Amino acid sequence: MAVEKMAYSIQETSEAIGLHPNTIYNLVKSGKLPSITLGRKILISKLELSKWLAGQSTPPAGTGTAN
């Protein structure tokens, strides 16, 4: 029986969302992508990754409100 992961490495995060590992590392280093450091290993929580991705979405063109 396979155990579902709760957190991903930089490489796994990269593969999951299609960004280069260096991009993921830079997002973590800049504090834009929440992470956990255990020893020398950087992990990105599956829940935090989902929240971060949801926060990156932009509204479709033409749906903005005019003031």
**Rounded-to-10 torsion of CA 61, 15, 44, 52:** 0
Predicted confidence pLDDT, tens digits, the chain (67 residues):
888 999 999 999 999 999 999 999 999 999 999 999 999 999 999 999 999 999 998 877 776 665 5
Q: Write the class of the CATH domain 7-53.
A: alpha beta
* 7 Cβ contact partners less than 8 Å away, ≥ 6 residues apart: 36, 43, 44, 45, 46
To which residue do tokens 């599956």 refer?
46
- Kindly report, residue by residue over 4-15, the tens digit of the pLDDT: 999 999 999 999
pTM: 0.79
